[in-house]
Amino acid sequence: MKNLKLTPAAKIALTVAAVIVLGLIAYSMTGSPDSDQAADARAAAPKPALTVTTARPSSASLPIKLAATGNVVAWQEAVIGSESGGLRLTEVRVNVGDVVKKGEVLAVFSPDAVNADVAQARAALLEAQASAADAAANAERARSLQNSGALSAQQINQYITAEQTANARIAAARASVAAQQLRLKYTQVVAPDSGVISARTATVGSVVGVGTELFRMIRQGRLEWRAEVTATELTRIKPGIAARVVAANGSELTGRVRMIAPTVDAQTRSALVYVDLPPAMGSSAPFKAGMFASGQFELGTSQAMTVPQQAVAVRDGFSYVFTLKPDNRVSQLKVKTGRRLGDRIEVTEGLAPDAQIVVSGAGFLNDGDLVRNVQAAQAAGKQ
C-alpha cells in the first residue's frame, strides 16, 4: 500500500466524499426539525423597545405662589433744598451714592453777608433796649406825679405809651436777631434724615434762591417693590405675607407686603402691591432704585399629586406621561402640570393616583411600545 499511487482524479473524488461525510455528521447533530422551529419562534418573538423603571404618583405639600412683576423704587425720597436766598455756595461735602446720617452737613453757603446782618440786628436790639430804658424811666416819673396834678392825664398817657412802644421795639429787634441767626444756621445744609444721596445738583460757586433743590435722598436707604397684580388675584394677597423678589441682575431678597393700593388702574385692570425690602445702603446694595424685578408672593401650602420630573415628556407644547400595562406595553396619557418642587412636578389633570408610570426612558417612548420593566424583572428574580 505504501507504493500505491493515486491519480489526480482519484484524489478529488476522495476529498468530495470526506466533505459529504462531515456534512452528514453535522446535520445529524444539530439540524433536527424541532431545533429549526425553536429558532424560528425565537426570531419571531417581539423584543422590548427599551428598559425602563416605573413608579407611582405620590402626594406632597407644595407651596402656593403668585408671580408678579414691578419696579423697585425708593420708599420715600427727600428733596433737600436751599433755605437761604442770594448766598454763594462755597462747599459741597457729599456726592451721589454717599451714605449720610441725620444732621450731617451736606453743603455750606458763604456766611459773610449773614454775619453782617446778625451784627446789625444785635446793634438794633441794643438801641431799642436803651430807648426802652429811657422810656421806662419817664413813664415811672409820670406815674409818681399822677396824683400831684403837675402833669395832665394826656401827658402821663403819652409817657406810658412811649414805654410800651419801646418794649415792642425790643421784641421786634429780638425777633430780627433770631431771624438773622436762623439765616446763619441755614448757611449749612444738613440731612433731614439718614439715608443715601440719590441725586445732586449743588455746584460750588453758584448763587441759588430759596427753595432751590440741591440734593435728593432715599430716606433710611429703604426700597420697596411695587408689584403689579391683576384685580382677580388681588384678594389672595394680605399685608404681612412674604414675597421673594428677584432683580434683573440676579439679586434676590425677601420682603413683606406693607400695603395694597386702594385703587385699580382703569386701563390695565391691575393694582400695586407695596413690598418693603430689607434696607441695604451703599454701592454694594444688591437692589437699586429704578430696577425692574420679578417675584413671587408666598400664599401658603396645599397637598398635590406629584411625579418625578423625568417622567413627564413634553411634545408639541403638551405634557405626557406613559403608564405601564400588564402586558408590559406603555400607554401615552396627556396631562396638565402645575407647580414644581425640586425634581418633582405636580400633575393636576389626566392621571390616576394609583397609575404605574414610566420614569427613566419616558422621553424615548411612543404609545404602545413594549418595554422591559427593571423593577418587575428584579422582583421576579428574587422569587
**Which class for 220: exposed (0-12), middle (13-18), buried (19 or more C-beta within 10 A)?**
middle
pLDDT band at residue 19 using 50, 70 and 90 as cut-offs: low
The pLDDT > 90 percentage for the chain reads 44
Identify which of 85, 74, 287, 286 has the alpha carbon closest to the alpha carbon of residue 199.
Answer: 74
Q: Can you give the pLDDT at residue 339?
A: 85
- Count the residues in the chain: 383
8 Å CB contact between 224 and 75: yes
Phi (first) and psi of residue 148, to 5 degrees: -85, -20
pLDDT band at residue 180 using 50, 70 and 90 as cut-offs: very high
pLDDT average, residue stretch 244-270: 89
The pLDDT > 70 percentage for the chain reads 85
pLDDT band at residue 73 using 50, 70 and 90 as cut-offs: very high
Q: Average the pLDDT over each of 30-34, 75-79, 320-324 and give the range with the smallest value.
A: 30-34
List, in sequence order, every beta strand (DSSP E) within 290-351: 292-308, 313-315, 318-324, 330-341, 344-349
78 has pLDDT over 90: yes
In DSSP terms, 247 is beta-bridged to 293
CA angle 48, 49, 55 (to 5 degrees): 85
Cell, residue 270: 391691575
pLDDT band at residue 147 using 50, 70 and 90 as cut-offs: confident
pLDDT band at residue 141 using 50, 70 and 90 as cut-offs: confident
Q: Can you give the pLDDT at residue 25?
A: 55
Q: Which pTM does this prediction carry?
A: 0.63
153-185 and 112-144 helices, crossing angle to 10°:
160
pLDDT band at residue 44 using 50, 70 and 90 as cut-offs: low
Distances (CA, A) of 94 to 105, 107, 196, 280, 373: 9, 8, 10, 19, 72
Look at the domain 50-61+302-382 and name its fold. 2.40.420
* Sequence-ordered alpha helix ranges (H) in 145-240: 153-185
Highest-confidence segment of 272-276, 288-292, 322-326, 359-363: 272-276
Highest-confidence segment of 23-37, 45-59, 319-333: 319-333
Q: Can you give the pLDDT at residue 38?
A: 47
Cell, residue 30: 444539530
pLDDT average, residue stretch 257-274: 92
pLDDT band at residue 168 using 50, 70 and 90 as cut-offs: very high
150 has pLDDT over 80: no
* Average of per-residue pLDDT values in the chain: 84
pLDDT average, residue stretch 184-207: 93
Q: Can you give the pLDDT at residue 107?
A: 95
Domain boundaries 66-75+220-301, CATH class = mainly beta
